[in-house]
Every structure is written in C-alpha cells, then in structure tokens.
Structure 1
Amino acid sequence: MRNIVLILFIAFSFSSYSQRDNKKEDSIAIRNFYNTSLLEGKSYTWLDYLSNQIGPRLSGSLNAQKAVEWTEQELKDVGLDKVWLQSVMVPKWTRGVTEFAYIETDPGQTTNVPICALGGSVPTPIGGVKAEIVEVKGLEDLRKLGTDNIEGKIVFYNRPMQADLINTFEAYGGCVDQRYSGAAEAAKFGAVGVIVRSMNLRLDDFPHTGTMSYGNLTDLEKIPAAAISTNGAELLHSMLTLNPKIKFLLNMNCRSWKDVESFNVIGEITGSEFPNEYMVVGGHLDSWDLGDGSHDDGAGVVQSMEVLRLFKETGYKPKRSIRVVLFMNEENGLRGGKKYAKVAKSKNENHVFALESDAGGFTPRGFSFDCDSNNFDQIQSWKSLFEPYLVHYFARGGSGADIGPLKKDGIVLAGLRPDSQRYFDYHHAKNDTFDAINKRELELGAATMASLVYLFDKYGVK
C-alpha cells in the first residue's frame, strides 16, 4: 500500500511540475507574440497600403484583383513554405453614379436625404422612381397591411438596431432581415421600391450598404432597394408622422454583370510533426465599395497574415500545418469560403482548427467557439494565459462566415471577438476608412490570434 501511495504521489508531483513548466513556457511564448506585434509589427503598415494604395475591393473589381496580387507577394516575402492562389468565380455588381434621393412634401418642395444602393439591387428606371411611402417595422407588417396599402408605394423599413443589447452583433442580427429580404417580400405586395434604415446604432448621415436577395423573383418582378442613413430615417419618420401623403424619389444606376474569376490567397507554414493536420487563420479580402474596408475586413486580413509572420519572427516552428487564407467574396456571396471548403473536402484534407477575424480592428476581448465540450474545457484552462492582456471573453457560439463551410465533427471553429460597440458605426459605410483604425488595438488583435493558434497547435484538439 505504501508503495502504491508513493507512486501516486510521485506521479501527481511530476504532473504538477509538468503543468507548471508548460504554463511558464506558454506564458513566455505568448509574451513574445505580443512584444513582437507591438514593437515590430507589420499589420498596421500592411493595412495602410491595402486601404490607401489599393482601396475598396468589391468582388469582381480591378481593386480586388490588385489586392490578390499584392497579398500574394507579401506572403511570399514573409518566407512561408507555400503561397498559392485558388481560383473562384464571383458575382460582379457595380454601383454606377452616386445615388440620389429626396423627400417631397409638395410639388417643388424637396429635402435631400443620404441613401446608397444595397448590394445586388436592380437600378431604378431612368429618372428614378417617385411614390408615396408606407412605413413598417419589419417583414411581418407587410402581411398586416396587405396589397391594398402597399401596391404602387415605396416601403420604408424603419426597425432600428436594439440599443439595449450589449452585444451589438445580436442587435444587428435582430434587424438585418429587412435589408436582406425586404425587397423580395415587398415586391410580392406590389411595392415599387424599398428603403431600409441603416444597420447602425449611431445617428449620422452615412448610409450603410450590404447584401440583399430577391429570392425567387424574376427579373421583371425585382424592385430597387436602398439604405437610408439613420438621420435620414429619423427625418423621414417625423415627416411621415406630420403628413402621410409625402412622396419619396429614389434614383440609382447600379447593375449586375456575369460572374468573373477571382482568387482566394493562401499561404502555409508546413507542420514539423503533423503536416497533414491543417489549421486555418483568415479574413475576407473583398470589401464593399463605399469606404476602403479597413475594419471590414482589411483588419482581419492583415491580422491573419501577421499570425504567420509572428511565428516566423519569434522562431516558433508549428507542429501542424498553419494556413492563412484570405477569402474572396464574403460580402455578397461567400464564394471563397465555400470554394476553400469544397477543395479541402475533395483532397480529403484533415482540418482540425480554424480562426477568423471579421469583427473589426478594435481592442480584442476574447473569442467565441463552435466546438464540443471537451475542447471548450481545454480552452477554458487557457484563460489565465490571456488575462494579463485583458482578454477574458471565452464563450461558445458562432465563429465566422468564411470558415463556417469547414464545419464537421472534431474541428474547432473560432472567431476573434473585439470590443463591438463602435463596429457598426463603420460597417459597410463610407467612413470605414484607415483613419478609423487604432494601431495598438490592431496589433493587440494580431498577437491575441497568434496566441490561440499557438496553443491549439501545441496541444491539439481533443
């Protein structure tokens, strides 16, 4: 009995020492990632070039192709083991000349308001469309009003993001259906157009675009769809309250074209022990066309590139193959994410982990994870390693749109979760520009991502 107790004591002591040694080693490695990112980082310089020298990168555009070529070369310059392009066909939509809209109280008495076409919208007839307005709070209001009250009018969706929800992505999810499906549903009741309150918690004059769908409507049934700024929505609501018979003019020149070829940009550090186990870190290279896409998702692109550069700079040699994937066409089709997953499946590649950054370049707060209980328990055991950097949010939930198609049993999907309170001030709007980026916050996010990738590479998935 004494021998058994002694053996158990020795085993327990050895395990405790081993855990302490691992934690010390991990703390040093993570500190190195943060030091290198904050003192010798490239993410901010990269984003400066991507935003200011290339600019907006709507799928199918010349700028999107320039971004592909530039990021490919930058990844080669980092010295990765492999860098390649993965072909993908993407939709091409152009905005045309600047949109125009006004509220008409009486003939000749008009007030201009800021609007922008929603991505994928059809244009208005030449000269625009002018009609009376019917205001609703959501898709369900259409059925209550019926065709008699909607036919021949422009539907104004005016349900704001719910301000008392601390998680702004939850608030966004609570009203984005009116942007995505609003035109398709309103057309069924005879509407001639729709305008949608911008998905923005702030009151300002920036209309926010975003993708929309016509569902199964034929080309003849499709109606133009635009976003109106939050200040514009407030004004329109007030004017409708005073006079329900006011009219709205909407003029847009957007157009859809045939699909064109584009590319996912992929770079890899080949694993030293398990080269056939793949870990992905990525963001989407395309952006909307109003701003330069610095937060959405230039930040995620350069942070993901920086993760692999930090491994090279600090001398960390991963056990598993680490890939950075810069996905094309997240904004209006998700073609890049779907293509990457399709090719991975066709090659029978074993993907064990994927991390996406697509929530802006703000201060990192933590991660959300789509995984089983065993892996989440392991993740929870790492929280103390992140606490010195004020990264404390670890929760089960969604990960990211582009890595979602990789989902299968045994894989861990994760999403970087920065502070979200300012994100929707810029999301899909003209003010999503490089001057809205904080260098330190961006670099903290890159180091935080590198730290999580390091831990999963070292300890694997459960």
Structure 2
Amino acid sequence: MKYLFILFLFMFSIQLTAQSDAENLKKIYSNSLTNGKSYEWLSHLSNQIGSRLSGSFGAERAVEYTKEELEKLGLDKVWLQPVMVPKWVRGLPEFAYIETLPGKTTQVNICALGGSVETPNGGVRAQVIEVQGIEELKALPKDKVKGKIVFFNLPMQADLINTFEAYGGCADQRYSGAYEAGKLGAVGVIVRSLNLRLDDFPHTGSMTYGDLPVSQRIPSAAISTNHAELLSTMVALDPSTNFFFKQNCKQLADVESYNVIGEITGSEFPDEYIVVGGHLDSWDLGDGSHDDGAGVVQSMDVLRLLKESGIQPKRSIRVVLFMNEENGLRGGNKYAEVAKTKGENHIFALESDSGGFTPRGFSFDCSDAVFNKVLGWKDLFKPYLIHYFEKGGSGADIGPLKSDTTVLAGLRPDSQRYFDYHHAANDTFDAVNKRELELGAATMASLVYLFDTYGIKAEMANDTFKN
C-alpha cells in the first residue's frame, strides 16, 4: 500500500507539472498574440532603417536601435560585442540586355552577387553558354568556355516539399559558379535566381572566388527567373546570342560592427546559458523583413514574453542579434569564440532564420536521447498546430556553438513562400503577416521555457553528435 501511495503521488506530480507547463505556454501565446512587440519592432527595423548589409549605415543604425529596445525591456545585461565585418557595396544599379542581332536588344533584370567584382567600365559583352549546374560546366573543355559568359540555369527542384532542400540542391552554382567559370577562362557569369516561382525579381546572395588569382576573377550576377527562361529560349534558338551586363560593385576594407546581446540572468543556474537569436544584417535590395528581420524581432520578444508571462528563468537566457550572417558569418564565429575563451557552458541555442511565416515546429541537432526527451513535449504544442519535430540542421549563426554538450535547434516555419522573397527587392515589411510573426515568437519562447525548466542531463548531451 505504501508503494502504491508513493506511485500515486509521483503520477499526480507529473500531471501537475504537465498542467503547469500547458498553462505557461498558454500565457506565452496569449501575450504574444494580444500584446506582442515583434511586429512593431519589425516595422521600425524595415520601414525606418531599411536594408542592413554588413558595414553599411543601415547596419549601424540597426545596432543602435535594437540595443536601445533591449535596454527598455529591463534585462539584467545589454551589451555590444565588437566584430570586424566585410564591406561590399553594390554601387549604381546594374544594367543588362540580350542581343540577338546587332542593335536588336531586350533589357533584362539582373543584380550583382554579393562579393562579386565589377565589370570593366564598358561592361561585358559576349556569347552565352548555358549549363545546368557546376558539374555540367566542369565536363566542358576549356575552349568551349573561354571568352564566353557562362549562364547557370539549374532551377530549384519544384517537387521537393522541403524548399530548403531544393535551395541546397542548386545553391552551389551561385556560390562557386564564378570560381569554376573563371578557371576555364570565362569573362562573366549569370546565374538563375534561386526562386521557385517565375517573376521579375533577381535574387542576390553570397559568392566566392576561392583561391582564384585576381586576374581570373570575373563579374557574377543573378538574373530573374522570367528572364532566365527568356535567355534560355533565345540561346536555344540561336547559340550565337550575346549577353551584355554592367555592374559597379566593390569590395572595400573590413569595418567594425557589433553583435547585440541582452541577458536575463538565471535564478538557479546562472552559469548555464541558453541562446536565442537571428541575424541583424540583411542584403541590400529589400529591407530584409523575412531574412532576417523576422528572426531578430522574434528573438527579442522571447525574453520579453518570458518576463510578461511571469516566468523567472532558472538559467541565463541570452538574445543574440548576430552581425554578418549573409556574407561572412563573422558574428556567429565571434560569439562562439568569446564564449569558448570565457569557458561559458551553453546548453541550448535556438535560431530563427527561415522567415516570419506560420511556425510548423523545429529541427534539432542533438543526440537521440535528447530528441526523445523533446518529443515528450510535442503534445504541449499540439493546441497551436505545431507538429514538426525532426532531427536536422539548426542555424548558421549558432552552428559555431556546436559541441558535445550543446543542443542546437532551428525554428521551422512553413517554407513554401520563403524563396519568393529570399535575397530579393520584394523582401519587404508588407510581405510579413503580423499574426504569423507573433505565433513564431511565442513558439520560440515556449521551447526556450521548456529547455530552461528541465535542462539537459549531461549523460544525454554527451552523445549529441554520435548519432
């Protein structure tokens, strides 16, 4: 009888704990949907500051603004972490056309890829050779490529439901296309925008020249999907078709910028750290509302929502607004470097960098033991239609924190529309839905609350990367 009574008390305690967790999640979601700050913060970041490319005046203003807003929340600590970042500038708008006959031209929409060199003053005009990706280019003899503009026209795979998988399947042509084409003597590179729909917006993004000598570095630009289709058709009809483009971008010397960090110090385990964050920089074509203004303001609101919901964290919770994710990852590397130097014990890190769309769940970079524990929380999220709990990647900025004692996770919103806006001029505030953004902030705060409440046992975390 005594043992039955103890078992009853144990089961009753578990039930009370589950009820308490459900009530706290309900408070968090209610506060976000009725009294959220993320949409207001995003409006200022997008509409009053605008694009925030690393090293730009916009990035500088964003650092100042978010630091001030975090200070208003009454956190225990708010500070700036210096980091040197690259400064690449686009210059005057790009210009391009397809030429089928001398004097017969069709203007098309392009944008320089981040990190590209400029064209000569008179631009680049040459015959086009179309390829379906890096491997097809590598298979060509050098004399077929030399003196030509390489047109990478591998589209994102439309039948993949996971659009990030589709993006990953062809992103190498944007990132390494100029490197591979330059080695073969090409004079320029045009890359089909990484976008699942047909539209007129060229999508920028980072690229590299690797160890290519300066003399072999060639200008690289993205072309809108509509105009990629047009160019492909024209080249198929007449292989002697020429392409002209002019761009004025430059790579300048590195400049100092900052990660913006705010902290609520833990009441029981102040030396155990939980990080939630997004990247403060954006590309320069739109205002970066989805990439990654949404992740920035959601992460800021996580700390506010915990405070507003009357939750006193046991562990120290930090919001980190990383600088330079788009073209260097300097902020994420600097934060991890400083944390390692100080011997800080980071048990969990969560990143939002997939847009401000309806949250579907999370992906976790962790051991099977930790993941099985996380699956036990899944029922708490069912009332909010959060169903996606899978092992997988987390986020670029928190990636450098990876260790055998740190669990990493990424917020996973519905991704079907994300690449319509990614790195393009239409990534603007009007494309973000207030309710979807606030649901994402609440979903992040709820997971942070659970990791803070229950922690991670050492024996569960130690095999984090053995599975």
TM-score above 0.5: yes
**What do residues 314-353 of structure 1 show as CA deviations (whole Å, max 9, x unaligned)?**
1110000000000000000000000000000000000000
Q: Which amino acid aligns with 2:395?
A: G
Q: Which amino acid aligns with 1:319?
A: K
Work out the CA distance in 1 between the residues paired with 2:389 and 2:212: 42
Task: Provide the residue aligned with 1:448 in structure 2.
Answer: 443
Tell me if the contact between 2:354 and 2:418 (Cα under 8 Å) persists in the aligned partners: yes
Work out the CA distance in 2 between the residues paired with 1:418 and 1:150: 41
Match of 1:356 among 347, 351, 359: 351
Match of 2:49 among 43, 46, 54: 54
Q: How does 1:181-330 map to 2 (within 5 A)?
A: 181-330=176-325
Task: Provide the residue aligned with 2:68 in structure 1.
Answer: 73
Q: Which amino acid aligns with 2:120?
A: P
Question: Is 1:345 the equivalent of 2:340?
Answer: yes
Q: Which amino acid aligns with 1:396?
A: K
**What do residues 64-93 of structure 1 show as CA deviations (whole Å, max 9, x unaligned)?**
000000000000001100000000000000
**What do residues 222-256 of structure 1 show as CA deviations (whole Å, max 9, x unaligned)?**
00000000001000011111101000001000000
Work out the CA distance in 1 between the residues paired with 2:46 and 2:5: 58
SS of 2:204 mapped into structure 1: coil
Q: Which amino acid aligns with 1:223?
A: I
* Aligned-pair CA distance for 1:140: 1.1
SS of 2:139 mapped into structure 1: helix
* Aligned-pair CA distance for 1:7: 4.0
Work out the CA distance in 2 between the residues paired with 1:55 and 1:338: 25
Task: Provide the residue aligned with 1:127 in structure 2.
Answer: 122
* Aligned-pair CA distance for 1:9: 2.3
**What do residues 349-403 of structure 1 show as CA deviations (whole Å, max 9, x unaligned)?**
0000000000000000000000111111110000000000000000000000000
Work out the CA distance in 2 between the residues paired with 1:125 and 1:11: 81
* Aligned-pair CA distance for 1:312: 1.3
Work out the CA distance in 1 between the residues paired with 2:177 and 2:61: 34
Question: Is 1:380 the equivalent of 2:379?
Answer: no
* Aligned-pair CA distance for 1:219: 1.4
* Aligned-pair CA distance for 1:8: 3.6
Work out the CA distance in 2 between the residues paired with 1:253 and 1:205: 21
Q: How does 1:90-109 map to 2 (within 5 A)?
A: 90-109=85-104
Work out the CA distance in 1 between the residues paired with 2:167 and 2:209: 20
SS of 2:420 mapped into structure 1: helix
SS of 1:145 mapped into structure 2: coil
Q: How does 1:39-50 map to 2 (within 5 A)?
A: 39-50=34-45
In structure 1, stretches of 5+ residues that fail to align are: 1-5
Task: Provide the residue aligned with 1:174 in structure 2.
Answer: 169
Work out the CA distance in 2 between the residues paired with 1:395 and 1:401: 18
Match of 1:415 among 389, 404, 410: 410
Work out the CA distance in 2 between the residues paired with 1:376 and 1:164: 29
Q: Which amino acid aligns with 1:228?
A: I
SS of 1:345 mapped into structure 2: helix
* Aligned-pair CA distance for 1:10: 2.6
Work out the CA distance in 2 between the residues paired with 1:117 and 1:105: 23
Give the alignment's TM-score, normalised by structure 1: 0.98
Work out the CA distance in 1 between the residues paired with 2:127 and 2:370: 55
Q: After the TM superposition, which parts of structure 1 deviate over 2 Å for at least 4 consecutive aligned residues?
A: 6-12
Work out the CA distance in 2 between the residues paired with 1:62 and 1:7: 70
Q: Which amino acid aligns with 2:198?
A: L
Q: How does 1:137-176 map to 2 (within 5 A)?
A: 137-176=132-171
Task: Provide the residue aligned with 2:330 in structure 1.
Answer: 335
SS of 1:27 mapped into structure 2: helix
Tell me if the contact between 2:185 and 2:216 (Cα under 8 Å) persists in the aligned partners: no
Task: Provide the residue aligned with 1:433 in structure 2.
Answer: 428
Q: How many residues align?
A: 457
Work out the CA distance in 2 between the residues paired with 1:178 and 1:325: 31
Work out the CA distance in 2 between the residues paired with 1:100 and 1:341: 41
Work out the CA distance in 2 between the residues paired with 1:12 and 1:383: 24
Task: Provide the residue aligned with 2:452 in structure 1.
Answer: 457
SS of 2:259 mapped into structure 1: strand
* Aligned-pair CA distance for 1:142: 1.7
**What do residues 237-290 of structure 1 show as CA deviations (whole Å, max 9, x unaligned)?**
111111010000010000000000000000000000000000000000000000
Work out the CA distance in 1 between the residues paired with 2:173 and 2:207: 9
Task: Provide the residue aligned with 1:3 in structure 2.
Answer: none
Q: Which amino acid aligns with 2:167?
A: Y
**What do residues 22-52 of structure 1 show as CA deviations (whole Å, max 9, x unaligned)?**
1100010000000000001000000000000
In structure 2, stretches of 5+ residues that fail to align are: 458-467
Farther off after superposition, 9-18 or 57-66: 9-18
Match of 1:110 among 83, 105, 112: 105
SS of 1:104 mapped into structure 2: strand
**What do residues 131-170 of structure 1 show as CA deviations (whole Å, max 9, x unaligned)?**
0000000111122221111000000000000000000000
Work out the CA distance in 1 between the residues paired with 2:214 and 2:2: 77
Q: Which amino acid aligns with 1:127?
A: G
RMSD of aligned C-alpha atoms? 0.6
Work out the CA distance in 2 between the residues paired with 1:272 and 1:157: 55
Work out the CA distance in 2 between the residues paired with 1:58 and 1:43: 21
Q: Which amino acid aligns with 1:149?
A: K
